Amino acid sequence: MRSASKAFVCLGLALSLALPAAAQTRLPRKSPAERRVQEINRDIQQQQRLQRFEQQNQFETNQLRQSIDRQRTFSNPSPPARIGTCPAGSVGC
């Protein structure tokens, strides 16, 4: 009988040490409010990323437009105006 009681005591001791350790490895459940806060934070971060992307896109679009405008302004200048008239008898100037 003593060996059985020793076994129960040892088993009880082992369980008493193992159960708190197992409970500590699990994370506590999140409350609905905490889950909602995390969802809101994720939504805000997503909106900020989208806003940064749109701003960068608008910036690059404006740079391209300015570059095209500069090319149009400075390339293929109109030919210089001719001063005077064509000589008499010429086919064209």
Query: What pTM was computed for the model?
Result: 0.48
In a domain, residue 46? The reply is: yes
Range of the domain at 66: 34-70
Query: Quick one: tokens of 61?
Result: 């679009």
85 occurs within a structural domain? no
How crowded is the C-beta side of 29, counted as CA atoms within 13 Å? 2
**pLDDT tens for each residue of 39-92:** 999 999 999 999 999 999 999 999 999 999 999 988 876 666 666 676 677 666
Averaged over 16-40, what is the pLDDT? 80
30 in the Ramachandran plot: left (φ > 0), alpha (ψ -120 to 50) or beta?
Answer: beta
- Is 4 inside any structural domain? no
